[in-house]
Chains A and B, each alone.
Chain A
Amino acid sequence: MKRTLEILFELERAGVVSRHAIGGAMGATFYVEPFLTFDLDVFVLLPRSAGGLLTLTPLYEALRARGYAEEGEHVNIEGVPVQFLPAYNALLEEALQEAREVPYEDVQARVLRAEHLAAICVQTGRPKDRERARLLREQAALDADYLAAVLARHGLAGKWREWG
């Protein structure tokens, strides 16, 4: 895991991705009790391609050159199946910009803020997102003002209240 995290920062330094941060179940686990997951979801801001399209191909090529092969929708990086998810909307772009670095043993991990994870759950809206949002609400010490601003900016305040 430690080496996996280092590789993510190496990709950033090499310009393969503009920025990355852990989200999904492991992102939530940073703030709440640990729960079962087999994937490490990593959101990435990608450099714009010539045509302005989002494509993971250069990222996969860079990983392959480092010896990390794709396995379905994942890339196995040092024994951890990583799923890269490009930031495809304004909420995810903001979440990536405001993600914070946290210590993991003697290296750093970058994790989305709990408030953004909650907002992403609301936006995605699946039953498991609702359950994750409930855990974040109960255990994550959310900054209420910060969360309210995020939800308002992205038109999610009503659904958050509905889920409460």
Chain B
Amino acid sequence: MTVLTEIPGLSRVREHFLDLLPERLETIAMSLQAASHGVDPAQIAALLEPADITLHRIAGAAGSLKLGDLGAHARRAELEVAAYRFACRESDPSDFNRVAAEIEDFVAAASAV
């Protein structure tokens, strides 16, 4: 009996994922930059949405493409951003620098993949 451990053609999907990665990292960086100029918590939460969505997508797919470390890092950053956006919506945001550092750290690490 053959035990299926990897999807045939997985490398092709992984290549596509890696081709898309720079564009996605750009989206995350732009979102962070825009949020850094936000004037109130509600606006900052809205401006961080593209970063949140993109991190969520990377976290969801990377692990299945044998890029587990990248996926786990994206998940940590996603949770940080999601928690910060929630706090913004509750008008009780924590330190923006902390979430910014988490995103920047992820973008730097992912750029090296």
A binds B: no
Residues of A within 8 A of B (CB): none
